[in-house]
Chains A and B, each alone.
Chain A
Amino acid sequence: DSGVTQTPKHLITATGQRVTLRCSPRSGDLSVYWYQQSLDQGLQFLIQYYNGEERAKGNILERFSAQQFPDLHSELNLSSLELGDSALYFCASSSRGELSQPQHFGDGTRLSIL
């Protein structure tokens, strides 16, 4: 158990819809990261937050947004969903986001678009 909690575990929805994925970081961790894993793209970094502020962006689509709340949990919002958004979405957390600190991953949310 990494200590990172992601909900829901599975999500099935239709094209054009909007969903919210939730992540609770490990106790004491200030930095949260979101990754997407699809069959053809592998694990891709989406976005990082540190103590409520956006710190880095990766290949995140404009239809996707995220935020980190004062209690440090984070949400990833996906809108106008397309078939290609079907993937595993992982959240990771680390203490302060420094290079010497490992990221610990949750078990992911499997998103299926029908």
Chain B
Amino acid sequence: DAKTTQPPSMDCAEGRAANLPCNHSTISGNEYVYWYRQIHSQGPQYIIHGLKNNETNEMASLIITEDRKSSTLILPHATLRDTAVYYCIVRGTDSWGKLQFGAGTQVVVTP
């Protein structure tokens, strides 16, 4: 699977949009980009995923560049409850369905 690179930490002001970058320069054509987050020691929470097109759901938007080498997760209006570790994961056929979690980005939303 392609490896991902994320900044170790980010701060965001409450009510503002949080833009979380992820680099996956070795991604293959059939590999999906997934985003999860983990609040404290709770189970990882699925946020969104995409293959080529931008995606939006009730939680966030996912913007994937045309060359698919990077993506951005957008939390449109960050709240204090969005403070968590955010994981960008590339998932391909050779992963046998598993998710390979890296260190992620620690996002802290401040009042």
A-B CB contacts (within 8 Å), total count: 67
Task: For B45, list chain A residues within 8 Å (CB).
Answer: 2, 105
**B32, B41, B44, B97: most-surrounded residue (chain A CB, <10 A):** B97
Chain A residues in the interface with B (C-beta under 8 A): 2, 4, 31, 33, 35, 37, 42-45, 48, 55-56, 58, 88, 90, 92, 94, 97-100, 102-108, 110
Binding site for A on B (CB under 8 A): 30-32, 34, 38, 41-46, 49, 51, 87, 91-93, 96-103
Taking a contact as CB atoms under 8 Å apart, the answer to whether B98 and A58 are in contact is yes
**Inter-chain contacts of B102 with A (CB < 8 A):** 42
What separation, in Å, do the CA atoms of A56 and B2 have in the docked complex? 19
Q: Return the chain A residue nearest B30 by Cβ.
A: A99
Asked whether, in the complex, the Cβ of A99 is within 8 Å of the Cβ of B92, the reply is: yes
Distance of A37 Cα from B41 Cα, bound (Å)? 9
Whether B98 lies near A48 (C-beta < 8 A) is yes
